[in-house]
Structure 1
């Protein structure tokens, strides 16, 4: 590998750890609830609290870290990740576990935000999209390997072992970042007013909203994917795990494709992905009828969903070029807001009595809205120079 690729690999390792710690508690909720003597819905608040911590922590932590070099900041964020997971493993009760999870979440958005910026700076011209996608590859692989392994550890040994093993990933990532990233100068002290102006400009806000809609579409379906597949295709519990693994493989392939397309044009990658999402989601309930069709559709759905992340990160950093690190971190927060939005919309579809078969259609509406917003953003951006 080239020298810069080792640095990107270390960033991907950190992303792998963050993806693992964010998602594996979903598969261990009953075990964790029993361990800290709370109900399953109460234990579920640990997941919600993590998402909220990412959403609010991303901009605040990123602003604070502007006084340090990017290399030091990334290592510090992995140290927070390590400490948070260690304390989660040692938590004596629910309140301690909740505080530990919130602590861990504070490292999430800032790491992806600053990490994406560093990946772009490390990469040679024409390879920035691939570099960002390579970093996010850690997140997709976490869904294929990290989450299942951590879940297995929690079920086979103890839920505390899952957190302990995940904390070790943070330690390895810290060493990797220290050894592979070049020395980086401390950035100039930020002009907070200028940075706020950069992220509050209409084009940046529209891009953040695009991220919310894209993530909302993904999690409208993903949150309820098990009952949807069981309803549409009578998928057994034993096959659900394989289908989720196929989704993870699709995530990985989509992330790779998006990096290549984003090197040419971030907008091209977004248009292809969002158009694919609208088509797949519109046809989902019509075409999924057995195991084979479910495998095919969930795989393609995974591909088009993870073609979104890298180009959106590049786009928002380009638009808010006076505050790329802050913009990138806020975009991660926007993704988590979309996570909550999608779960709520899917739940509303069920509550209103439409049934699981209508959830993909609701997700398609969000993807179509994101595609329309992308077109509006391009049109307004093209008009801006002539207007000035």
Structure 2
């Protein structure tokens, strides 16, 4: 695997730490900013909404840029947004900085995915994307607990300052290792949109959105669930979050090894496991030992499908490498937006924190249904292709005069 792919993974780690760390800081931020926990949870949704818009917009806007320059620009804006966020005491300004940071983070994801896939052969795309997406998993196991620890001992603003420093360090790595190459012929947006006009591509996007929402509706309120329902001391929350991250690391490593050869089987097993572990977490939410095991499994199954969800679009729509990746990022963040929002509605209605895991199980069932639908479409397309080839061969073998 080229070293540039690992640099992209490390850059995602720097930015992913910011994306994830609010799950362990919601109660502290809510208290400091004078808002409710569900309102503080909307900062997670603000980040996701910024990414939802940023991916397609920046993918198109930077088509004529060199990929290295685009990545550097995104990281610079990301760092500045976190400096402003660390300095403000206004919830609205903080909300805006989260959206701006996410906007450029989405652009980074789109360009990074296309760059990583372009650096490896076709049969290693899943592995390359497991390295890039693995940066987010490492952020879960290292960045998230570290951010939570900083927030609990030095205040949540210290975590924001730390992310700004990580973004600057990522810029150094990108400048040193990512080739300063431009497209000889920049991709045409019209051609890429035509390549994306496929039912299987949109079913993949729907699977991505639903499966991500199924994971994030639980993860978004995991810290609060641990303290309010499981009655875990705050000092132990980073430990359980690290267990979740460890599950994610193992899941993404295994998923990266199976993504290229068995994509649909990987999705089926991963989403099925996420459904079961989410349901059991809802049932056992008051007991720490089962919760610790189930949090590990939620992370493992949830992240295990990530390499397939990230790389499959390049197989289904090879002529849309730029907008295909952008659509993927938007789909992920549609799920990230919807998950905490649905969880907030349930908590605000008085359903309790275990309800978020039940919602995750229900969303997982919907995602598994879409995977089944995609399989049916794939078999139908294959049958039609075979029939069309046979008809063409018959016409050649039996010409009419």
TM range (shorter): 0.7 to 0.9
Decide whether the 8 Å contact of 1:109 with 1:330 is kept in 2. Answer: no
CA 1:371–1:39 in structure 2 vs 1: closer, same or farther (change >3 Å)?
closer
Q: Matched residues in 1 for 2:294 and 2:96: separation?
A: 39
Shift of 1:368: 2.0
> How do 1:232-247 residues align onto structure 2 when only pairs under 5 Å count?
235-247=232-244
Decide whether the 8 Å contact of 2:27 with 2:224 is kept in 1. Answer: no
Q: Matched residues in 1 for 2:151 and 2:356: separation?
A: 31
Shift of 1:214: 0.2
State the secondary structure of the residue aligned to 2:196: helix
> How do 1:1-388 residues align onto structure 2 when only pairs under 5 Å count?
4=2, 6-29=3-26, 32=29, 38-40=34-36, 44-91=41-88, 93-124=90-121, 126-186=123-183, 188-226=185-223, 228=225, 235-286=232-283, 290-350=287-347, 355-387=352-384
Structure ID, larger Rg: 2
CA 1:119–1:225 in structure 2 vs 1: closer, same or farther (change >3 Å)?
same
Shift of 1:291: 2.7
Decide whether the 8 Å contact of 1:318 with 1:324 is kept in 2. Answer: no
Shift of 1:263: 3.1
State the secondary structure of the residue aligned to 2:183: coil
Shift of 1:134: 1.0
Q: Matched residues in 1 for 2:122 and 2:191: separation?
A: 27
Cα shift readout 1:158-212 (whole Å, capped 9, x = no counterpart): 5443322211211211111121223423253332222223334322211111111
Residue segments in structure 2 that go unaligned for 5+ positions in a row: 386-401
CA 1:117–1:152 in structure 2 vs 1: closer, same or farther (change >3 Å)?
same
Q: Matched residues in 1 for 2:384 and 2:123: separation?
A: 30
Q: Matched residues in 1 for 2:109 and 2:56: separation?
A: 12
Q: Matched residues in 2 for 1:330 and 1:345: separation?
A: 22
Cα shift readout 1:103-156 (whole Å, capped 9, x = no counterpart): 211121221222122222223453321211111111111122223323433443
Q: Matched residues in 1 for 2:12 and 2:49: separation?
A: 18
Decide whether the 8 Å contact of 2:209 with 2:332 is kept in 1. Answer: yes
Shift of 1:310: 1.4
Decide whether the 8 Å contact of 1:198 with 1:204 is kept in 2. Answer: no
Q: Matched residues in 2 for 1:32 and 1:231: separation?
A: 16
Shift of 1:217: 0.9
Count residues with an aligned counterpart. 384
CA 1:93–1:187 in structure 2 vs 1: closer, same or farther (change >3 Å)?
farther
Cα shift readout 1:278-301 (whole Å, capped 9, x = no counterpart): 332344445666332222221112
Residue segments in structure 1 that go unaligned for 5+ positions in a row: none
Q: Matched residues in 1 for 2:352 and 2:41: separation?
A: 23
Q: Matched residues in 1 for 2:346 and 2:91: separation?
A: 32
Q: Matched residues in 1 for 2:228 and 2:157: separation?
A: 34
